[in-house]
Amino acid sequence: MKIKGIEVEDFVNYKKPSMFIAIGDCDWKCCIEGGFDISICHNSPLAHAKEYEVDCEFLYNEYINNPITKAIVIGGLEPFTRFEDVYELIKYFRDHNCNDTFVIYTGYYPEEIESELISLGQMNNLIIKFGRFVKNAPKRFDDVLGVELSSDNQYARFIQCIKLHT
Ligand code: SF4
């Protein structure tokens, strides 16, 4: 799988110390819908970042051998543009008896990625943060993540608590 970057110890995206992995591309949906420039998206510098080829085993070992980190956060650009890689990574951890929390940061809303959420429904201990970044909206503290999100339309849910229309 290709990743844009890895932060072996991240303390800002989840309440527990986490390994942060940046995956995916983006169609800049937040910027286009909000009518603002792509440069306003805090992930935009990653658009031109070089991608690195890694495998699940490498990421697993980076995580499991670090006594500080207690969760894994997958963030943007937009991880759902590489859904198969994200799924494979979580499954690899679960197959190796690591049930620590995974968090996926997405700009989508649940109704836009229903089939992917149904597939992920088999995974335990998985949190997804939903919603576009809305410029100038107030920030919102999210109780599930234990951190502040960039706009007040965004929220996080455990996968089992997500309501789908299907
Ligand atoms: S989904 Fe993420 S990367 Fe894409 S425009 Fe929104 S905030 Fe930026």
Question: What's the 40 CA to ligand 1 centre distance in angstroms?
Answer: 10
Question: What's the 43 CA to ligand 1 centre distance in angstroms?
Answer: 7
Q: Which two tokens stand for residue 149?
A: 């999100």
- The 10 Å Cβ neighbour count of residue 21 is 26
Helix axes 56-64, 83-95, angle to 10 degrees: 50
pLDDT digit string, tens, across residues 5-40: 999 999 999 999 999 999 999 999 999 999 999 999
Mean pLDDT within 123-144: 97
Q: What is the pLDDT of residue 166?
A: 60
* Closest residue by CA, ligand 1 atom 1: 107
42 has a pLDDT exceeding 80? yes
At 45, is the secondary structure helix, strand, or coil? helix
109 has a pLDDT exceeding 80? yes
0.85 exceeded by pTM = yes
Q: What is the pLDDT of residue 164?
A: 80
Q: What is the pLDDT of residue 32?
A: 96
Q: Which atom of ligand 1 is nearest to the CA of 41?
A: 8
SS3 content of the chain, % helix, strand, coil (to 5): 30, 25, 45
